[in-house]
Amino acid sequence: MQTKAYAAQSATAPLAPFGIDRREPGPKDVALQILYCGVCHSDLHTARGEWPGVQFPAVPGHEIVGRVTAVGGAVKKFKPGQLVGVGCMVDSCRGCSACKEGLEQYCEGPVGFTGTYNGPIGGGPNTYGGYSASITVDQDFVLAINHTEKDLAAAAPLLCAGITTWSPLKHWKAGPGKKVGIAGIGGLGHMGIKLAHALGAHVVAFTTSKDKIADAKKLGADEVVISRNDDEMKAHNGSFDLIIDTVAAPHNLDTFLTLLKRDGGLVLVGAPSSPHPSPGAFNLIFKRRSLAGSLIGGIKETQEMLDFCAAHDIVSDIEMIPMRDIDKAYERMLKSDVKYRFVIDMATLG
Ligand code: NAP
Ligand code: ZN
Ligand code: ZN
């Protein structure tokens, strides 16, 4: 099926219209018309060739929501007309221990999981993402959206920003009695605040942007700290169970490690193109602190997160843009000027 899309032809080219071919649905496939697609900072890293192994042309987009148009004969869970989502993955080996545990993002198969775009991660034919009119995906990688249709666009960012913060919050047991920090109030960070708050944790937001303080409180933060203010940071020394770091640029990790209590953990989800300076060993040794990372989330936990958000009336705070404004949106994203996720209205694809 010929499908309209937007692609970067190289790391320095602006995104522009591009025709792609989507497969006709096979027996286990679901075809959907894409109605909205969120704009993740990973899209920008990819379109501008900031990560190793980017294949061009690149069609970004992995916060996809839309309506099922056709299903294969073996598909039982989805039917035409239904609202569904597709996140960061469209396939995996299904046989390795990670896949069997529902952690397809850590697939140990020969090429790892297949990213919705620029996949499989271990190399192979390039996949094209959600900056497009339609997509065909194996039913096992399609999510049911139980939000109302009026919330559909604002639910799109849950497919990456939501699950990427939900997964470490659940893994490191954020909840009542826990003090949880969220560093960086962008797409991921604002969802991290909402989700940690909904899970019952005491939430502290760290930001470099003074103008986000009032918003962070509305999003659910109990306290907001300007991370470049040493005195404000020091007041929280040794007090956090968990800090999730969503910052998309290299920075000093010791400033956050110092804030962890004994056995606390700093979890990196931000994926800057160049490394953070290495933290000092003493900050880790003396309080048995951990420095960890976390990658998106599995399909099962993504559905759990979507259902939790539908039940708790949680969506993203979004700014809708037409497809043609994508490069302007990337520029604003680089200036931390997004409140708090751009979502593309796919009706503007033309
Ligand atoms: P985003 O919307 O651009 O938000 C990033 C936030 O980080 C900014 O809003 C800003 O918050 C803060 N920030 C940016 N530059 C900074 C700097 N130089 N110093 C300090 N703070 C800075 O990006 P996003 O979509 O949330 O993505 C964040 C990162 O996570 C990206 O690297 C992305 O590729 C990565 N990511 C990882 C996964 C995963 O599975 N681990 C999944 C999705 C995305 P303040 O204004 O509040 O300071
Ligand atoms: Zn993403
Ligand atoms: Zn696998």
pLDDT 10s per residue in the chain (350 long)? 999 999 999 999 999 999 999 999 999 999 999 999 999 999 999 999 999 999 999 999 999 999 999 999 999 999 999 999 999 999 999 999 999 999 999 999 999 999 999 999 888 899 999 999 999 999 999 999 999 999 999 999 999 999 999 999 999 999 999 999 999 999 999 999 999 999 999 999 999 999 999 999 999 999 999 999 999 999 999 999 999 999 999 999 999 999 999 999 999 999 999 999 999 999 999 999 999 999 999 999 999 999 999 999 999 999 999 999 999 999 999 999 999 999 999 999 98
**What local confidence, expressed as pLDDT, does residue 301 receive?**
98
AA letter at 193: I
Measured in angstroms, how far is the CA atom of residue 181 from the centroid of ligand 2?
20
**What local confidence, expressed as pLDDT, does residue 350 receive?**
83
* SS3 at position 13: coil
Measured in angstroms, how far is the CA atom of residue 52 from the centroid of ligand 3?
22
Residues with Cβ within 8 Å of 285's Cβ and at least 6 positions away in sequence, in order, are: none
Where do the DSSP E strands lie in the chain?
A: 2-7, 16-21, 29-38, 64-71, 83-86, 89-91, 114-115, 134-138, 143-144, 179-183, 202-207, 223-226, 240-245, 260-268, 290-293, 318-322, 341-345
Measured in angstroms, how far is the CA atom of residue 288 from the centroid of ligand 2?
31
Q: Is the CB of 62 under 6 A from ligand 1?
A: no
**What local confidence, expressed as pLDDT, does residue 123 receive?**
85
* SS3 at position 142: coil
Phi then psi for residue 272, to 5 deg, are -65, 155
Most informative mutation of 46, 247, 276, 318 for ligand 1 (most atoms within 8 A of CB): 247
Q: Which residues pair with 85 in a beta bridge?
A: 65, 143
Measured in angstroms, how far is the CA atom of residue 41 from the centroid of ligand 2?
6
**What local confidence, expressed as pLDDT, does residue 324 receive?**
98
Residues with Cβ within 8 Å of 70's Cβ and at least 6 positions away in sequence, in order, are: 25, 30, 31, 80
- Backbone conformation region of residue 276, classed left if phi is above 0, alpha if psi is from -120 to 50, else beta: beta
Least Cα distance to 323 among 62, 2, 1, 16 occurs for 16
Question: Could you tell me the two tokens for 172?
Answer: 């490191």
Rounded to the nearest 10°, the torsion over CA 101, 106, 108, 110 is 130
Q: Is the pTM of this model over 0.85?
A: yes
Residue entry with tokens 């056995």: 263
Measured in angstroms, how far is the CA atom of residue 88 from the centroid of ligand 2?
7
Most informative mutation of 213, 246, 318 for ligand 1 (most atoms within 8 A of CB): 246
Q: Is the CB of 82 under 6 A from ligand 1?
A: no
CA atoms within 13 A on the CB side of 217: 7
294-314 b/e with 16+ CB inside 10 Å = b? bbbbbbebbbbbbebbbeeeb
- In whole angstroms, give the CA distance from residue 95 to residue 31: 25
Measured in angstroms, how far is the CA atom of residue 111 from the centroid of ligand 3?
9
Q: Is the CB of 295 under 6 A from ligand 1?
A: yes
Q: Is the CB of 202 under 6 A from ligand 1?
A: no
**What local confidence, expressed as pLDDT, does residue 192 receive?**
98
AA letter at 298: G
**Residues 75 and 139: beta-carbon distance below 8 Å:** yes
Question: Could you tell me the two tokens for 295?
Answer: 């990658």
Give the ligand whose atoms come closest to the C-alpha of residue 168.
Answer: 1
